[in-house]
A and B are shown apart, each in its own frame.
Chain A
Amino acid sequence: MRHAVVSRLTPLVEPLVEGLIRLCGWSAIFFVFAIFFFVFREGAPLLVGTLDLGEFFTSVNWRPDSRIQAQYGILALLAGTASVTALAMILSVPAGLGAAIFVSEFCAPRVRETLKIVIELLAAIPSVVWGFIGYMVLNPLLISATGAPIGINILNGGIILALMSVPIIMSVGEDALKAVPDTYREAALALGASRWQLVYRVLLPAAKNGLLAAALLGIGRSVGETMAVLMATGHSVQIPHSLLDPVRTLTATIAAELGETVEGGDHYRVLFVIGTLLMLMAFAVNLAADLAVKGVRGKQNG
């Protein structure tokens, strides 16, 4: 009896569920484009109008509120984002990939579960809390350890961002290693390879693209991070000359300044131009990660 009801309902329910799932899929794409469109639309009047793109990209003078002559040069902000991201990657990629290799290949199952939970917990800490740690804990530590005049600087921001990126790099990296068929491992061990040789000569080349994707996703996380870097980097407009110089990033500038701007003003629009630039950067990084993962699949199928 019940079977009969279910089978009678199936023709009705199935298209409904199918439609719903389709809607979910398309809505994600729709929202991404809608967000991009709205961010771009707010910045566009300035972008096609009075903004001097040459000055925008090559001037270090960021004085959006000047009474004499407003200047919108983001070179120092770009340098800030690039330097903090680069340092974070130098610290987090080896650590994240190392953790992935350890968890996937060397670790006893019980330790693995604990480790994974703990490391993934790092990803659950809100970025404001990370920023707070950088500002309150790391700042005095760095002053006494390095002799720098101020402890909120590239080094501080880089360390905080590295700690935030490690969980992502580890999770994605571990998945990439797990995706290498066990037959590879068995074959290598059967040939008498040690476990280190197995990792170095077999697994790393086989999972190369997936590991690259893991690193790129870590970069994406670093470039887009706002609150933590706002607090930990010192928020100072200048081209850095050493790791101990404070800097300001693109994201932190938007967060700090959007509230004061009057809708439709030049300052408001230039912040949306920066937003558009950040979205393009994130898009480029994600596309690169995606292509790298596709490379993995292609190779395994082929």
Chain B
Amino acid sequence: MSWVRPVLVVGIAVGTLASAACSSSSSPTSDSAGGVVIRLTGSDTMVNLNQAWAENYKKVKPEVSVQIAGGGSGVGIAGLIDGILDIAASSREMEAEEIARATKTAGAEPKEFVVGLDALAVYVHEGNPVQSISLEELAEIYGEGGQLVKWSQAGVKNTACTGDEIIRVSRQNNSGTYVYFREAVLGTTRELRLGSIDQSGSKDVVALVSRTPCAIGYSGMAYAAPGVRALPISKKKGEPGVAPMLQSALDGTYPISRPLYLYSHGTPTGPVKEFIDWTLSAAGQQILQDVGYVPAPAAGQ
């Protein structure tokens, strides 16, 4: 379960302190058996994907072991800046200030790789009759000063939810999903309304929504599970919604899909370069599609 994450977070915090004390190398380390270890940490959205890549890469290159940890995109980027990782996985773009910090600590600008696309799905309980939802309505539900606090105000007769109140399930702020959702739905000038239920993992959001008839939540498309429904999304109220699917994410008609990134220290070399190249190869992209994401537009060539 993803409740392990805060432990990881503490581990990373301790690691950060340790790396501050003794200068850390930004190149892959060797393990006791003499093999190469690549440290890949970050996006919780991508943790299943990274895990699948790591397992399959073991078959391709048995001497290279890829260590995966989650924690959120922010954790990965912070780790890259502090120099305790080889690759950071992120479901949001690094900010200019973060790139500047990372450039300062590593001596070279981090290199960005778009490895795939993720459609962010909006989930409701399966008992909720709502058919589709628009970004405008989502902004009124999640945004500061938003007007939609009850399902009936959105024109939904949610009989399974006795109190009629919309329970907003969100993510903790170390999450790339959170940052992307905030920007896609509210833009850069409006805050999220406080008082949402903030979960620490993509899976937790779906699990909580599946147990809560009043809830609405957002998570990666790949995390759909029994008990929840992913809503078709439209940009404006009244327009027909587009369901989150491989095709709609790829052709851009689904309004909330986003790139997934890997970041390395400078231009990668050696094992790190080989691994990233492999994730972009046909084999790597097939694994990405099997896990539930959309292949990167430029990959596989």
Contacts and interface: CB of A to CB of B under 8 A. Distances in A.
Interface of A: 60-68, 76, 128, 131-132, 139-140, 143, 147-152, 226-227, 230-231, 234-238, 246, 248, 255-263
Q: Which 5 A-B pairs have the closest CB atoms?
A: A260-B74, A259-B9, A260-B174, A238-B195, A149-B214
9 contacts: A63-B191, A128-B3, A149-B163, A231-B3, A236-B196, A236-B197, A255-B9, A260-B173, A263-B78
B167 interface: yes
Dominant secondary structure of chain B at its interface with chain A: mixed
A65 B194 CA distance: 13
A150 B197 contact: yes
A260 B80 CA distance: 11
Given A128-B3, A256-B174, A259-B12, A235 B191 contact: no
B189 interface: yes
Nearest to B190: A68
A68 B214 CA distance: 30
B33 interface: no
B108 interface: no
Contacts of B72: 259-260
Contacts of B78: 259-263
Nearest to B17: A263
A66 B5 CA distance: 23
Interface residues of B, number: 44
Contacts of A64: 173
A255 B75 contact: no
A60 B194 contact: yes
A65 B3 CA distance: 22
Given A63-B191, A259-B8, A259-B75, A236 B198 contact: yes
Contact of A257 (B174, B188, B189, B195): B174
B127 to A, nearest CB: 13
A68 to B, nearest CB: 7
Given A68-B191, A148-B163, A259-B71, A235 B214 contact: no
A149 B161 contact: yes
Contacts of B1: 132
A252 to B, nearest CB: 9
Given A143-B211, A230-B200, 17 more contacts: A62-B194, A63-B191, A66-B191, A140-B211, A148-B163, A150-B214, A231-B3, A234-B197, A237-B194, A255-B10, A256-B174, A259-B8, A259-B71, A259-B74, A259-B75, A260-B78, A262-B98
Contacts of B167: 149-150
Contacts of B13: 258-259
A246 B8 CA distance: 25
Contacts of A140: 211
B20 interface: yes
B82 interface: yes
A262 B174 contact: no
B215 A150 contact: yes
B188 to A, nearest CB: 6
B199 interface: yes
Contact of A256 (B82, B172, B195, B212): B172
A234 B75 CA distance: 22
Contacts of B10: 255, 258-259
B6 interface: yes
Of B8, B78, B81, B82, the most chain A CB neighbours within 10 A belong to B78
B197 A147 contact: no
A133 B35 CA distance: 41
